[in-house]
Amino acid sequence: MTLGGKGVPKMKESNFRSRNKWLRAGLVVGLAALASGVSVWAQDADAITAADVAGSSLQFTRVNPKATGMNGTQQATLPGIPGIDSVLNFSGAYSTPGVDPNGKPNSNWLFNTLGKRPDAGGTTTLNAPIVPVALDLRNADGSPRFVRVVNGKTITCGTPTEPGCQRLMFDPTPFIPLVLESPVFSNFNYTSSATPTQFADAVARAEYQGAPDDWHTLLAPSVKTARTMVINQDPTCGIGAGKGGHCNYRYAINADGSCCFFVLIDVNTFVNKLFPSTSTFPPDSSTPMGAAEAAGDITTKDVSTFFFPPAYLSFPVGKHQTACCIGGFHSLDVESGDASNGKLLRLFVMNYSTWDQPIFRDPTILDVTGLSHEVSEIYNDPLVAIDGVHDITPWWLAPNGNCQDDLEVGDVIEGLPRQAFPIRMPNGFTYHPQNEALLQWFEFQSPSTAIHGAYSYPDITTLTALSAPQKAGCAP
């Protein structure tokens, strides 16, 4: 999924608009109605369980001579996007019939990728700061919130000293060691690489056949100062016997009554709380991202991850209904330039990711499914089509029903059979990164010049056929 930096995701089926006109986003979500029951001990209107999202899908979407028959390395001969202060990137070109975002015929397309050109060889290592973000879920008046279980129902404590009361404070720290040892940041053996490497690099090598054996784009993770996102509950949450109003968050407690097994956060609330409210540098430091930028924990040259405990995003889609679940996005924070960087626009490349709990329709969506999805998409679309040209593709319709026109490699695969690729790492933990679509699929290339003639990787059987040519918006 891509997201407009200082705005709200644009849903293809909804009316959300980004406040930043340069950034494009789209997402498709599964719907789940969330209702509350009432009894003598009325459960909190925002208390939920895994059963409330059991039928949901965890989904993500973002945001040279003719190259027909050329492999990825032969196509990737162009420099990165000029005039910006951002991550190292390169570009390439290909030719295939299609229509642009406005429905006009077009045959020439540009892609943009993280790192250095494959034909040059060599290993590029990029800093990959991980900023753990805790969630401090509060009452509507801003006071710390404590809850307890009474007769099987979760209720807010009148005072923190009542028996069994526990604070709604959700800490990501226990998940960080497992994230660092995952295939996203640690090496494993893949058929696309002569040596063990990281997951997204293995996918990139599968796309760029002909690259030297030593060509790699690697991430160097480092855990930065933890930040806290404070979310006050909306005063209207629960109005109408728990069926009305608006909730900024909903929470599911653990079996022992502690916070939390997972939480659902309103997407508008989340975005406004995460991104800086200003577009000047140094930024407003009252948000996790603004604070990390101001402290120098993340820079424009980094691939930054804001990692949350199990937290998914939702939004209202109708009366008393909530859409669920957005499990991650990658985006940019856009800040102004100044004399210190040649007055170039600062583009901070980032992703929000979380630890995936076993609560979704597909039982293989676990642990780092979402993180691997977002990091792989950053490799293939690091600047989220900011100029409206690079990584805009012919319209495509994926087997999962996603209709898009951007180079979002994870969105094609989400929800498909065999979307996960289980990997048992040396720490003994079996991770579930998501298979990714390859560049050649977006190019409508037949036969594919990717590894083994594939359209997906690491499992080349996940995606075996091209989309049919589409009109704008996949119109009939």
Q: What is the dihedral of CA 469, 330, 9, 476, to 10 degrees?
A: 10
Cα within 13 Å of Cα(8), Cβ side: 13
Predicted confidence (pLDDT) per residue in 464-476, tens digit: 999 999 999 999 9
Q: For residues 418 and 428, is the Cβ–Cβ distance under 8 A? A: no
Give one word for 289, left, alpha or beta, with left for phi > 0 and alpha for psi -120 to 50. alpha
Distance from chain centroid for Cα 386: 17
Cα within 13 Å of Cα(185), Cβ side: 21
Q: For residues 335 and 292, is the Cβ–Cβ distance under 8 A? A: no
Label residue 17 by pLDDT band (50, 70, 90): very low
> What proportion of the chain, given as a percentage, has pLDDT over 90?
76
Beta-carbon count within 10 A of 380 CB:
26
Distance from chain centroid for Cα 74: 29
Residue 204 has pLDDT above 80, yes or no: yes
Q: For residues 405 and 101, is the Cβ–Cβ distance under 8 A? A: yes
Residues sharing a CB contact under 8 Å with residue 106, sequence separation 6 or more, in sequence order:
98, 99, 100, 394
Mean pLDDT score, 166-192: 98
Least confident of 26-40, 82-96, 445-459: 26-40
Reduced 3-state DSSP string for 243-297 = CCCCCCEEEECCCCCCCCCEEEEEHHHHHHHHCCCCCCCCCCCCCHHHHHHHCCC
Which amino acid is residue 394, in one-letter code? P
pTM: 0.89
Residue 18 has pLDDT above 90, yes or no: no
Label residue 67 by pLDDT band (50, 70, 90): very low
Cα within 13 Å of Cα(151), Cβ side: 7
CA separation for the pair 318, 192 (Å, rounded): 46
Closest listed residue to residue 30, CA positions, set 11, 48, 49, 55 = 55
Mean pLDDT score, 337-344: 95
Question: What pairing do the DSSP bridges indicate for beta strands 146-150 and 153-156?
Answer: antiparallel
Mean pLDDT score, 400-414: 96
Q: For residues 349 and 378, is the Cβ–Cβ distance under 8 A? A: yes
How much is the pLDDT for 9? 35
User: Mean of the per-residue pLDDT values for the chain?
Assistant: 87
> What proportion of the chain, given as a percentage, has pLDDT over 70?
84
How much is the pLDDT for 244? 66
Question: DSSP letter at 177?
Answer: H
How much is the pLDDT for 20? 36
Residue at token pair 């407690």: 253
Residue 448 has pLDDT above 90, yes or no: yes
Higher per-residue confidence, 173 vs 30: 173
Label residue 3 by pLDDT band (50, 70, 90): low
Element (H, E) at 178: helix 176-180
Mean pLDDT score, 139-165: 94
Label residue 5 by pLDDT band (50, 70, 90): very low
Mean pLDDT score, 151-159: 92
How much is the pLDDT for 52? 77
How much is the pLDDT for 69? 53
Residue 378 has pLDDT above 70, yes or no: yes
CA separation for the pair 106, 382 (Å, rounded): 23
Mean pLDDT score, 141-154: 95
CA separation for the pair 317, 354 (Å, rounded): 23
How much is the pLDDT for 64? 25
Q: For residues 289 and 273, is the Cβ–Cβ distance under 8 A? A: no
How much is the pLDDT for 47? 86
Beta-carbon count within 10 A of 266 CB:
22
Residue 34 has pLDDT above 50, yes or no: no
Distance from chain centroid for Cα 183: 16
Residue at token pair 């990164």: 433
How much is the pLDDT for 242? 47
Residues sharing a CB contact under 8 Å with residue 151, sequence separation 6 or more, in sequence order:
39, 40, 41
Mean pLDDT score, 320-341: 89
CA separation for the pair 59, 285 (Å, rounded): 30
